[in-house]
Structure 1
């Protein structure tokens, strides 16, 4: 009976509430994807991996090869870019979701530079420079990347995905 009680305590200690990240949360952003959703998956495979339906954010948009999908339930602040039928990018707009290294929306530019020391390329933000910038880092194979958008030295949003997808400035452009 004691083993059962310990198992319940441990299970409660690792309970994951959708949309709320914890220190040991499996849903973090990496060069490969967001938790179980990996870049290159189809829409259906990503839904299956995430366990929730992904809905088109802009069903009337004029870009048939590019869509933005959001989880119908949970995972607040997470949006996926579907490019040519495959998950190409994950966008994060909420502080609750971190990268595998612990970076989050709201972090300072200096914090990101320190966390990823020597790996970040800083460029002016297309719309908000000189107050805003892009902090971009590529994977070792240079096929994927992570980009933080800053304004007034604070991360306002970030995304990870294919090298092509993280370069888009406005949606699918």
Structure 2
């Protein structure tokens, strides 16, 4: 009987250790309202980061997590000490990091990225799908260089978008009405020309 109880306790403990973590709140989702089921956020773009990357990390922490700049001879910004943008060597194709003053402020998925957000959205999804997934919290702004239907769709987790603590997700929509890039992180997601 004691062996049976011990075996049962071990099985219950192992099951509890392998239980999935509860879903984290998503920016723009009212508290108490659950979003669609998600896979672990570690391998998806979120307003707070991607995989081992977290907004606010130092350059040394970014490099320890995903490696050095994969193309150190390319220009990531006019003054790399104040702003630099690059793909770490172990980052997925199409993923770029932006560091300002040596701190990670945003992460970008470009056209050739095969990444998705914690809401399951990808490069190539329609603007209508972005609006459907996030609902009324989507802020639409005209695209700086391309006529409508090109636009920027942004979802913020705070009302003060200029605050360094602000976090958000921005979808750049192309002239076909589809997502061509995704930026996650702080206020730098609003930049339209990288560091410039």
TM-score under structure 1 normalisation? 0.78
**Contact 2:183–2:189 under 8 Å retained in 1:** yes
Matched residue, 1:138: 156
- 100, 125, 147: which is aligned to 1:83? 100
Structure with greater proportional strand content: 1
Residues 95-126 of structure 1, C-alpha deviations (whole Å, 9 max, x = no match):
52011111110000110001111110111100
Structure with greater proportional helix content: 2
Residues 5-55 of structure 1, C-alpha deviations (whole Å, 9 max, x = no match):
xxxxxxxxxxxxxxxxxx6673211111111100110111012223x3334
* Runs of 5+ unmatched residues, structure 1: 1-22
**Contact 2:45–2:117 under 8 Å retained in 1:** yes
**Contact 1:57–1:70 under 8 Å retained in 2:** no
| Structure 1 residue ranges (4+ consecutive) displaced by more than 2 angstroms after TM superposition | 23-26, 52-62
- Secondary structure at the aligned position of 2:136 is classed as coil
**Contact 1:58–1:67 under 8 Å retained in 2:** no
**Contact 2:108–2:182 under 8 Å retained in 1:** yes
- 127, 140, 145: which is aligned to 2:145? 127
Determine the C-alpha separation between the residues in 2 that align with 1:96 and 1:60.
22
TM-score under structure 2 normalisation? 0.69
Structure 1 residue 41 corresponds to structure 2 residue 20 = no
**Contact 1:57–1:67 under 8 Å retained in 2:** no
Q: Given the superposition, is the C-alpha separation of residues 57 and 67 from structure 1 closer, same or farther in structure 2, using an over 3 Å criterion? A: farther
Matched residue, 2:180: 156
Shift of 1:167: 1.4
**Contact 2:76–2:86 under 8 Å retained in 1:** no
Aligned CA RMSD, in angstroms, stands at 2.0
- 117, 134, 137: which is aligned to 1:99? 117
* Paired positions, count: 149
1:18-33 aligned at under 5 Å gives the runs 26-33=42-49
Q: Given the superposition, is the C-alpha separation of residues 146 and 74 from structure 1 closer, same or farther in structure 2, using an over 3 Å criterion? A: closer
- Which structure has the larger Rg over C-alpha atoms? 2
Structure 1 residue 58 corresponds to structure 2 residue 74 = yes
